[in-house]
Amino acid sequence: YYTMKRLCLRLNLSSRSYLSGPRQFSTDVPRFEIAKAVHLLSCPSMSKRIKLIDVRSPLEFAKGHIPGAITLPLMDDHARKEVGTTYKKKGRFAAIQVGLSHVGPKLPKLIQCIKEEHKFEPNDDNQLLIYCSRGGMRSESIGWLLSLCGYKSAVLNKGYKSFRGHVVSSLD
């Protein structure tokens, strides 16, 4: 509770809204399948209200991304490599700790960037569709945080990997 209260204060949220706000708080972030995302993005009236957010590292984004996505990397390339190495050598919990040490200080700026640079406001009708490589911890954690802040967010199931698979299968 204390850590969440501190995070709310850093994000300019009241801990009261976190605990008893108008939205029912849930740790479950909705998930989109790639076919639904492609359909929504191809509809002109809907595509204006959807923002794709790629939270992978800059190198991952440079190698390929979903067209129209904005990049908000949680970690730089070095930090991502460090987390991966820690995961292989010491396990999941140790990797999470290393990841949090890199990501934690950046969270208020990420929220500010979505609001100020990309003009998305909490509690509006826009949908933020977040993805990482496989739809795992990076996208899920940011989806949870954005939901906590009042944004409508969802995670692309299986991440960029599902998009690549969708493109390849559509070429067959």
Q: Counting runs of H as helices and runs of E as strands, what totals does the chain give?
A: 10, 5
Residue with tokens 């960029």: 160
Q: Which of 142, 139, 123, 122 is nearest to 131 (CA)?
A: 139
Of 8, 43, 113, 132, the catalytic one is 132
Long-range pairs, 5-11, Cβ under 8 A, ≥24: 7/107, 10/107, 10/108, 11/107, 11/108, 11/111, 11/149
DSSP 120-144: --TTSS-EEEEE-SSSSHHHHHHHH
**Does residue 132 carry a catalytic annotation?**
yes
* DSSP reduced 3-state for 154: strand
Count the neighbouring beta carbons within 10 Å of the beta carbon of residue 145: 19
* Active site members: 132
